[in-house]
Structure 1
């Protein structure tokens, strides 16, 4: 049997958990804080593989193993690796209070509506995009992915009124610190090694109604909203039929960053944000910038708006997962080319003028994308006097999309 004990963050440690242990495994600070049983071997956790091999030898001889971990070891902790190696039936898990629960408790806030993302041993990029998209996020940090790095990334692009709460040494009365800082302030400090968790909060949306499903809010009941769901100028808006296919090809989701270039009313940007993505809308018209902000606020989502003309306005932005390019005149091929060189997954282009299609397609293929497209031409039901209905044609639109081919482990496109 392997006993897994969660310690720290205010959890009282029961020394009886170590009785009869032949092997005790844990971080150095966990092991230094306990008295080992007579004759017990101790292993300081570093690379997990050798520790698991040692545990397997003890389990095979039916000798008791104890693993000391922080907080709740079943929450982004070692329980997953142990269950995969030895099977859940061989584990006796005694959880403590997780660092996430402890941090929110220190602030007096509920956290059933928080999204929790781990950057420990993982790419920080996903955590950054989740923080941009959601109003209440807990980030589990690690070396190279701590408060300074998170703050620096958030400070590069407008992220609303976000504040970072850095929780250190939780459960240690002498050293515990819980500090509120701006992303820029976090970026300029050395936080040391005692950080447990960083909360990224939108101060205007810390409390909400009762939840049924914890974590990420349920997705929208529908998308490709009608045009009258958005403020727009002179019908200058991506029609819902076009938006529906564009969203299908963009595939926006939590953890993604999407650019909406030449955003106009921001209808595509808002819809991507409703589906969970972090979104940057780039718009050169000042009245368009205000319209995008108003539409985002009306739908309760975060959209960072950059006032400027592409491609120059794109230079300071983080690389996106997906890009939507709407409109565009003579500059369209250059804009598509810049977006295609920087997009990680896909670029979708809506073009009304037939003459622009070949150049836009060439820009996608020149960047190594596999390109496809369709001409969308729909007719909507429209009422006529006398309780009859006619078909009203909408303007045809070409929708092109380029998809970056997958790369094999040898680095060669398949």
Structure 2
């Protein structure tokens, strides 16, 4: 199992398939390596038939090489291979992942980034993670690329970094607004989209990577929020609402008639994306102030 690195020269493009009797990979991966004489190749499309072919060779003890992008253990094919054949039978040689390469191109650390895959998955989960967190990498797929993300996030104050064909001579890394992304045809070469809140993209030092740790407590006391004339959802009611809603990363919560925004803020502290609706300008200002005070 060889990952073709997203950094130029990160993975050898020569004899990685030497000795194999079957080589499986995308067309561009197969074109990038020197194939042994007489080797059988399978161009990856549907995964199940390719795994069935691999199984035929594995059962006979014949050598197989699988080519993939970047680090195949990170939202990649290693999971499917390990489930089918057992991890002890795999020799994985990882390249530089597209996520690591994209953040390197823009000079940002990514230990505090959240990574969401929209490849073969519901795009709404990635969209809501982008709304909730200031630094997100989205692994794209057919029907879930920069244009679709841009259309969903055009009003959310984010900046996109669209990284295409990383590690190749055709590499492109472009900063665009979500509206600009939505208006373009990006083709099939997009590797990853970084979705950034420019003001918060360089976060504090972390001890735990990825999603920020959950709050130490919830159903906070009323004095944790600015409110008008005691017009605030009492903490006992918030506790019940939060327990029933179970907000988490990837969810979207609407708080209509948000008042002080206490319920909205508590849902956001638990990782959900939140849209709070309040009628009056001073009410909107109060919700925003409470959100800022709690770092969401």
Q: TM-score range by the shorter chain?
A: over 0.9
* Matched ranges for 1:382-397 at <5 A: none
What CA deviation, in whole Å up to 9, does each residue of 1:52-71 have, x standing for no partner? 11111111111100001000
Q: Which has the larger strand fraction?
A: 1
Q: Distance in 1 between matches of 2:114 and 2:36?
A: 40
- Tell me the equivalent position of 1:189: 184
- Tell me the equivalent position of 2:54: 55
Secondary structure in 2 aligned to 1:258? strand
Q: Which runs of 4+ in 1 moved over 2 A?
A: 14-17
Q: Distance in 2 between matches of 1:136 and 1:228?
A: 30
Q: Offset of 1:17 from its aligned partner?
A: 2.6
Q: Distance in 2 between matches of 1:248 and 1:279?
A: 16
- Tell me the equivalent position of 1:256: 251
- Tell me the equivalent position of 2:224: 229
Contact 2:164/2:190 (8 A) holds in 1: yes
Q: Distance in 1 between matches of 2:246 and 2:237?
A: 14
- Tell me the equivalent position of 1:136: 135
What CA deviation, in whole Å up to 9, does each residue of 1:349-382 have, x standing for no partner? xxxxxxxxxxxxxxxxxxxxxxxxxxxxxxxxxx
Contact 2:17/2:33 (8 A) holds in 1: no
- Tell me the equivalent position of 2:159: 163
| TM-score scaled by length of structure 1 | 0.70
* Matched ranges for 1:214-293 at <5 A: 214-293=209-288
Choose between structure 1 and 2 for higher RCO, CA contacts under 8 A separated by at least 6 residues. 2
Q: Distance in 2 between matches of 1:44 and 1:14?
A: 17
1:66 maps to 2:65: yes
Q: Offset of 1:14 from its aligned partner?
A: 5.2
Q: Distance in 1 between matches of 2:237 and 2:32?
A: 62
Q: Distance in 2 between matches of 1:234 and 1:145?
A: 46
**Structure 2: which 5+ residue stretches go unaligned?**
none
- Tell me the equivalent position of 1:86: 85
Larger Rg: 1
Q: Offset of 1:209 from its aligned partner?
A: 2.4
Secondary structure in 2 aligned to 1:42? strand
What CA deviation, in whole Å up to 9, does each residue of 1:117-176 have, x standing for no partner? 000011100000000000000000001000000000012xx42x310110011001x311
| TM-score scaled by length of structure 2 | 0.97
Q: What is the number of equivalent residue pairs in this alignment?
A: 294
Q: Offset of 1:289 from its aligned partner?
A: 0.6
Query: Which residue of 175, 194, 215 corresponds with 1:199?
Result: 194
